[in-house]
Copies of this chain bind each other. A is one copy, B any other.
Amino acid sequence: MRLSKFHLATVKEVPADAEIVSHQLMLRAGMIRKLAAGLYTWSPLGLRVLRKVEAVVREEMNRAGAIEVLMPAVQPRELWEETGRWEKFGGQLLKMKDRKEAWYCFGPTHEEVVTDFARAELHSYKQLPLNFYQIQTKFRDEIRPRFGVMRAREFLMKDAYSFHLSAECLEREYWNMYNAYTRIFTRLELKFRPVQADAGAIGGSVTHEFHVLAESGEDAIAFSDGSDYAANVEKAEAMAPATGRTAPAAALERVATPTQRSIDEVSGFLGVAAAGCLKTILVRGNDGLVALCVRGDHEINEIKASKLAELPGEPVLADEAEIVKALGCKPGFIGPVGLPDSIPVIVDRDAAVLADFVCGGNQDGSHYRGANWLRDARLSRVEDLRKVVDGDASPDGKGQIRLARGIEVGHVFQLGTKYAEALNASVIDQSGKSQVLAMGCYGIGVSRIVAAAIEQNFDAAGIVWPEPMAPWRVVLCLINPKNDTNVAAVADALYADLQARGVDVALDDRGLRAGGMFADMELIGIPHRVVVSERGVAAGTFEYRARRDSESRQLSRDEVLALFA
């Protein structure tokens, strides 16, 4: 590509709402331009990168045996009502009415449509297994679209859906996809981790997320420093402590804590470490209030709590009026000692081994010291209730947990029969019986990958693309000659030679001065830069510099060609 015939439009000013580096750099490089909240036009430069990511995803999906299809973006309400998601999906579902007053949505995902396709197309076990995928525009009406294409409303997604006769077959395809995803992110030269995850609203049991590791990531990831264990913090198990509860040594004693409510305040006031205090919260259960207890230095993991049989879903804190009514005290003074029998007390594994601990006194302005389970306080059940912390034992028994931030770029699910049952998608099996299909689903955020890659690959001058997704692998910078020499002809010939060898090369023939040209090429992150200048042509050399290097070097023409062989 000759850049004089391209549209390159780097910019100096970046809007104040561009909070993260990828958003700032994509705007400065002119890769995207905002149309409206969460809606972006991909400029010619941006699209080159997006298409390179798309091509790698497509190649690896094909290699893994998935078959590409293309489903409509606009989906009829009736289908979403069959699975109950027309209402359940919530505000992210963009709904619309056509000229005949029929309701549709802009597809945020395609489980309904693909299962409808499958129930029409698939009749016999002989057609299975199958994995259909598409690379297609989705829309999710985010409450707070932000971070540019990282959390846009309209975005490009690769979504795949596999169909099977048995759970075993589904599991084989699940790992096939897991491996394909690993190849995709490896080929894109990203630092990533597949992590165990919670299935959430999509449903299903076994599931992994693929995270690109970056400080700006919205997810917290726990991984082991002694194995390949990794999990979303939402999901990561906090193991039971190695040693059990010690016998009570202190007597139970009520102490005045007139204004001390938080763990920090109580711990400081009483001179007891937070790890020696108990944090108790009251939440609304299916059948009255429920007490959840974790150690003072730990935090409740809401996803884990949401799975307790006593809770209807995500935990909702009891409000002050409910607490006053139940206990006669305000929040901040709650503890398990003397709680009414009607309130189950569910205690985290680490909190359950505390002895002689501090906890709320269930009276305003009062706590207990020297409290002990069983002797002083009822303990209904021990559960894993907390978020893991740095230094925890890894659940696989190897090494310690470390924490990192991640950007979710892929997700694989074993859905099982959830959607196939709702939509009655079945085939005749080997024995002639009708059998509901087992399904997997596998998503990749194609446009998000572009932003995530930048979060891992930038410096003060701009983006530093991994080669497989760079807009061009190499740029020839033609420095306008002062004299009537053949510099342009030399550049043209080298450009033609590289193109003939299949090298993805750009020729910067825009006539800019060297400083501006180099700044642009560094900002947009081209991995290799070759300068064609009057002095170089006279000396028979080209100044070469890799984007990741700080020094340039002089190469002969043959050396330049050899570099990209």
Chain A interface residues (CB < 8 Å from chain B): 5-7, 9, 30, 33, 35-36, 39-44, 47, 50, 65, 67-76, 79, 91, 94-99, 104, 106, 113, 116-117, 120-121, 127, 130, 132, 137, 139, 141, 143, 153-154
Contact = CB atoms under 8 A, between A and B. Distances in A.
Copies of this protein in the assembly total 2
Contacts of A41: 69-72, 113, 117
Contacts of A39: 72, 74-76
Given A36-B104, A40-B72, A44-B68, 17 more contacts: A5-B65, A7-B132, A9-B127, A33-B117, A35-B71, A35-B72, A39-B75, A41-B113, A42-B70, A44-B132, A50-B70, A72-B154, A73-B139, A74-B106, A74-B139, A96-B97, A106-B106
Contacts of A30: 121
Contacts of A96: 94-97, 106
Nearest to A39: B72
A35 B69 contact: no
B69 A44 contact: yes
Contacts of A116: 35
A106 B7 CA distance: 26
B70 A47 contact: yes
A73 B137 contact: yes
5 contacts: A33-B121, A43-B69, A44-B67, A73-B73, A94-B96
Contacts of A130: 7
Pick the 5 closest A-B CB pairs, nearest first: A96-B96, A42-B70, A36-B76, A39-B72, A44-B67
B99 A143 contact: yes
A106 B95 CA distance: 12
A99 B141 contact: yes
Contacts of A143: 99
Nearest to A90: B99
Contacts of A71: 35, 41-42
A142 to B, nearest CB: 9
A30 B95 CA distance: 30
Contacts of A5: 65, 67
Contacts of A6: 67
A94 B139 CA distance: 15
Contacts of A36: 72, 74-76, 104
Contact of A121 (B43, B104, B117): B43
A43 B117 CA distance: 9
A173 to B, nearest CB: 13
B95 A68 contact: no
